[in-house]
Amino acid sequence: MSQSYRLSDKGRLDRSQKLTFTYDGQSYTGYRGDTLASALLANGVKLVGRSFKYHRPRGIMSAGSEEPNALVQLETGPRTEPNTRATVVDLYDGLTAASQNCWPSVKFDVQSVNQKIAKLFPAGFYYKTFMFPASWWTPVYEKIIRRAAGLGKSPMERDPDSYAQKFAFCDVLVVGGGPAGIAAALAAGRTGARVILADEQQEMGGALLSDDALIDGQPALDWVAKSLAELARLEEVTILPRTTVSGYYDYNYLTALERVTDHLGPQADDRIPRQRFWKIRAKKVVLAQGAIERPLVFADNDRPGIMLAAALRTYINRYGVLPGRQVVVFTNNDSAYKTAIDAHTAGAVVDIVDLRVDPTGPLVKQAEALMIRIHKGSAVVATFGKHAVTGCEIAKISADGKSLTSDTTFIGCDILANSNGWNPSVHLWSQARGKLTWDAEKNCFIPGHAGPWLPVAAGSGTGTYDLGNCLSQGFAQGAAAAQAAGFGSGEVPKTPETEPLVEGPERMVWTIPGKKPLGHGKAKHFHDHQNDVVASDIHLAAREGYLSVEHLKRYTTTGMGTDQGKTSNVNALAIMAEIRNAAIPEVGTTTFRPPYTPITFGAVTGQNRNHLFIQERTSAMHPAHVENGAVFEDVGDWKRPWYFPKTSKSGVTETMDEAVLRECRQVRETVGMLDASTLGKIDIQGKDAAEFLNWVYTNKWDTLKPGRARYGLMLNEHGMVFDDGVTTRLADDHFHMTTTTGGAARVLGWLENWSQTEWPQMEVYMTSVTEQWAVCTITGPNARALLADVTSMPLDPETFPFMAMQEGTVAGAPARVYRISFTGDLAYEINVPARYGLHVWRALQDAGKSHGLCLYGTETMHVLRAEKGFIIVGQDTDGTVTPMDLDMDWIVSKKKDDFLGRRSFYRTDTKREGRKQLVGLLTDNPNFVLPEGAHIVEDVKPKPPMKTLGHVTSSYYSPNVGRSIALALVADGIKRKGDTLSVPLMNGHVEKVTLTDTVFFDKEGARSNG
């Protein structure tokens, strides 16, 4: 079977490049230029898979991206790709593919028994059968369905290929590289406009690649070649073959998948991306996607060897394959006659079965002249063949198309080509919110009212099938699009000479009658081959009340799947319209959604994987943290040192608990150092800066002296705490604000919002300086001595008291040192421009050796602040907490007339009894650490629901207090201090807790003086 179906004199193949490939374990050959489908047909392989539901043998139905049947598993291992349409896979040497949804083999498939018991699998079968009990759904039903109704298998290994994205811009995007698209690109490109011409196939030319048309008396493909050469010379024109425009989004934003190396097969070197995902902003879009042939819905119309008429013509003319010797062409229109004529010319025995009683037109005459048998007023009413079609029965049908009016006649055939007319590809038009119009003469939906971004359409995608008209439409739309984008005068290039298309009318018979009434007997009229939906399912849906097209789709699964109903949707609508006795447009269409054809996750992801999946923000001291063996915590996008485990001489590394206990103790005993660089920092300048701060903080700022710092709480309009931090007055008109790490951007936006919209008269500017400054925080009893080793600044408490700032040098570098503390111990926050951060950190680490310096991370920071009852906004507060709820009345100024949030303190809800308030918790068992989030109740019941009084917000074991400590928000907590409540846990344990003050350590606050 070595390409025995190959024609010697036809096809756009490079026969000097013989390619070897493997299908279902068997080796075959094809040529460069083949698709997998054409190569399989050339080798006589018709059976390529089993259908989705009934496991019926299936073959190749189309020659393009609309293929519903020939889905294969391409390649193996990490590169395996399921549900690949054999019709769009460009053949390459070494290609390996296998059929899907069959076991153990495509010829002997165990589940093909489903065909015999098809009566048990009506539409809506899953909904009806797998209903009760509901608890069986996931463990039982889903597994059964998944295994039985399988498509391909996903790869289980990492994708070895690379992918890329490309953000592109153009004046005119032309979708589709057939005659209309090429004409549009030429007209637009000649104006100097930036043009992108994209086509999904390996070669531009569209339908002309399968045709023998002439343009200006020369083969049309000469015109294609000449035009492409001209486009290639135009500097601002980009030609993208193998590129499917997959989605049309708002404001002419379109996505396209370019298959860069797929046609070459797996690449050892992944430097060139396998696929590139284009994100295109176009000023104007010309849609020239062509049309897709519609199949006839007749009895057992799914056997391998039954294919669309134009597909057969493509295989003959473009790929040089005549996949059968005896061809039946079953049609309702003239276009299929071209297939019959070409098959006849290529050497096949051809019968035409034409639904029309009296077909006329030049093509019919031509067929008659070639002595091709034409069975007029007839239909194929039955087909035969187990693994491929071997013959069919035809009969005359009645004028209403509902019944047979003659005995049947058998015709042997190994290919049955059929055509029910054409559907313009209106997918992108519809995605762009354009309306569709039913053309009653051409029996198809065509672009109607355009969507808001006004794309234009040209060519057979508008229902125009005459080549000359396609060209002139393309030229006109291309020129107009360019002009609308600001290029050219709108002058339309002259359309070359072509032979006019003369065709007779079609005869529409949406369901071809069979030998038995629909739904009786074994014959099946498939309209959706991919989802195994048959015409009788539509009748069933209608009987059960699913009349709307949206219900029909969901009930029967029509139009779902990887092909999204490209060949099936209009047939389904038409059948439903007949049942409802309604016009087709009254039934409506379902929504066309992106992507037009399946696209890989890899391409959508592009480079955004592995280390580029998400940014890892690091501070200037990060290299030192890595050297010091830090374990990192993700805080937002930041990598912050979490703790610094030590490894003993015997090679044992501390656990997190051990490291944190050690760090907590040592900070309070000697001195610790924390990288606090990530804190948000905002530089505030202007003569009204102090007044501005008076408004945004609850306390007073105009009284703060330069060189001094103050802690502030920021409230939203509802009076709820939303950020906190220490702000320092650098000069009369200059402040340095700090915010929480996560709140930096939010606070800056908040300040800008008030400044710009409410108080534009205030002279104040805010500038983010978060990353300008690297911050080394040293804290603990030895902090002053350590700092004294690396600075000549005066550090005595009188000159440099708590809540003060000094400028000078630290370790030789210019620094602002803030004496502020988040641990309650003596602390200095040493701020240096980031370029000096690593140097200063290392200098402090060196100097710290003689002071017992210990590096600590965020976990120890949390424990130490909790020992002092310092809140973390967002952990101990949740947007419903006022300063009073935090027992922080002291920070709410009584001397200011107003500040943001103040008004809300007079709302009944903020004044009421019973609000949740921040308290400390001590567990009965001093070693028991409560889980954060645990609920606090008065009355413990055997199981929930229990009335909750609040929850634990922070909870740690504190080595410095010598027991566990926790903070919690508890209803009326402040006046309930001393009460004992209960914390029932998931595991049934109930821990008794006593409500206390929030300060657990150094209650008098003496330690911050050192």
Partner 1 sequence: MAKASSLYPGVTIETPLSGKDPIQADGVTITELPFLGKVTLRGNAADPAFAAAVKSVLGADLPTQPLSSLRVGNIRVFWKAFDEWLIWTNEDAQIQLITDLNAALSGIRKSVVDVSDYYTVLRVDGARSRDLLAKGCVVDLHPRSFKPGQATGTGFHHATIFITLADADTFDVMIRWSFADYLWAYLADGAREWAPA
Interacting residue ranges for partner 1, rule: CB under 8 A: 162, 164-169, 194, 269, 271-273, 281, 606-608, 611-612, 614-620, 623, 637-638, 683, 685-687, 763, 765-774, 809, 811-814, 833-839
Q: State the minimum distance, in angstroms, from the CB of residue 675 to partner 1.
A: 12
Q: State the minimum distance, in angstroms, from the CB of residue 200 to partner 1.
A: 22
Decide if 346 contacts 316 (C-beta within 8 A): yes
Looking at the Cβ atoms of 652 and 731, the one nearer to partner 1 is: 731
Beta strands in 586-670 (DSSP E): 631-635, 638-643
Which residues lie across from 404 on neighbouring strands? 397
SS3 of residue 164 by DSSP: strand
Q: State the minimum distance, in angstroms, from the CB of residue 260 to partner 1.
A: 10
Looking at the Cβ atoms of 495 and 728, the one nearer to partner 1 is: 728
In which element (H, E) is residue 230 found? helix 220-233
Looking at the Cβ atoms of 770 and 875, the one nearer to partner 1 is: 770
Q: State the minimum distance, in angstroms, from the CB of residue 57 to partner 1.
A: 44
Q: State the minimum distance, in angstroms, from the CB of residue 524 to partner 1.
A: 49
Of 394, 390, 393, which Cα lies nearest the Cα of 414?
Answer: 390
Q: Work out whether strand 349-354 and strand 373-376 pair parallel, antiparallel, or are unpaired.
A: parallel
Looking at the Cβ atoms of 127 and 613, the one nearer to partner 1 is: 613
Q: State the minimum distance, in angstroms, from the CB of residue 831 to partner 1.
A: 11
Looking at the Cβ atoms of 203 and 633, the one nearer to partner 1 is: 633
Decide if 184 contacts 206 (C-beta within 8 A): no
SS3 of residue 22 by DSSP: strand
> What CA–CA distance (Å, rounded) separates 610 from 572?
45
Hey, what are 441's tokens?
A: 């003469």
Q: State the minimum distance, in angstroms, from the CB of residue 793 to partner 1.
A: 15
Enumerate residues 6+ apart whose C-beta is below 8 A from 59. Answer: 46, 47, 48, 69, 70, 303, 304, 305, 306, 307, 388
Looking at the Cβ atoms of 100 and 741, the one nearer to partner 1 is: 741
Looking at the Cβ atoms of 235 and 939, the one nearer to partner 1 is: 235
Looking at the Cβ atoms of 144 and 612, the one nearer to partner 1 is: 612
Looking at the Cβ atoms of 736 and 865, the one nearer to partner 1 is: 736
Secondary structure letter of residue 242 according to DSSP: T
Q: State the minimum distance, in angstroms, from the CB of residue 706 to partner 1.
A: 16
Instruction: State the Rg of the chain over Cα.
Output: 38
Q: State the minimum distance, in angstroms, from the CB of residue 607 to partner 1.
A: 5
Looking at the Cβ atoms of 609 and 896, the one nearer to partner 1 is: 609
CA 396, 398, 401, 406 dihedral sign is negative
Looking at the Cβ atoms of 321 and 774, the one nearer to partner 1 is: 774
Hey, what are 188's tokens?
A: 């637009």
Secondary structure letter of residue 697 according to DSSP: B
Largest CA distance in the chain: 116
Q: State the minimum distance, in angstroms, from the CB of residue 687 to partner 1.
A: 7
Looking at the Cβ atoms of 147 and 687, the one nearer to partner 1 is: 687
Looking at the Cβ atoms of 165 and 904, the one nearer to partner 1 is: 165
Of 198, 382, 212, which Cα lies nearest the Cα of 290?
Answer: 198
Enumerate residues 6+ apart whose C-beta is below 8 A from 230. Answer: 186, 189
Q: State the minimum distance, in angstroms, from the CB of residue 839 to partner 1.
A: 5
Q: State the minimum distance, in angstroms, from the CB of residue 283 to partner 1.
A: 11
Hey, what are 277's tokens?
A: 């995902």
SS3 of residue 533 by DSSP: strand
Decide if 949 contacts 981 (C-beta within 8 A): yes
Q: State the minimum distance, in angstroms, from the CB of residue 202 to partner 1.
A: 21
Looking at the Cβ atoms of 176 and 247, the one nearer to partner 1 is: 247
Q: State the minimum distance, in angstroms, from the CB of residue 173 to partner 1.
A: 14
Alpha carbon separation from 974 to 347, 915, 919 (Å, rounded)? 97, 10, 6
Q: State the minimum distance, in angstroms, from the CB of residue 815 to partner 1.
A: 10
In which element (H, E) is residue 142 found? helix 142-148
Distance of CA 530 to the CA centre of its chain: 24
DSSP assignments along 82-137, one per residue: EEEEGGG-B--TT-EEEE-S-SB-SSSBGGGHHHHTGGG--TTHHHHHS-SSGGGI
Q: State the minimum distance, in angstroms, from the CB of residue 610 to partner 1.
A: 9
Looking at the Cβ atoms of 147 and 835, the one nearer to partner 1 is: 835
Looking at the Cβ atoms of 22 and 628, the one nearer to partner 1 is: 628
> What CA–CA distance (Å, rounded) separates 416 from 339?
11
- CA angle 45-30-259, nearest 5°? 100
Which residues lie across from 339 on neighbouring strands? none
Distance of CA 462 to the CA centre of its chain: 31
Secondary structure letter of residue 755 according to DSSP: I
Decide if 219 contacts 12 (C-beta within 8 A): no
Distance of CA 336 to the CA centre of its chain: 40
Looking at the Cβ atoms of 107 and 842, the one nearer to partner 1 is: 842
Which residues lie across from 726 on neighbouring strands? 711
Enumerate residues 6+ apart whose C-beta is below 8 A from 692. Answer: 684, 686, 751, 755, 759, 762, 764
Q: State the minimum distance, in angstroms, from the CB of residue 725 to partner 1.
A: 18
Enumerate residues 6+ apart whose C-beta is below 8 A from 570. Answer: 294, 423, 444, 445, 584
> What CA–CA distance (Å, rounded) separates 40 from 35?
8
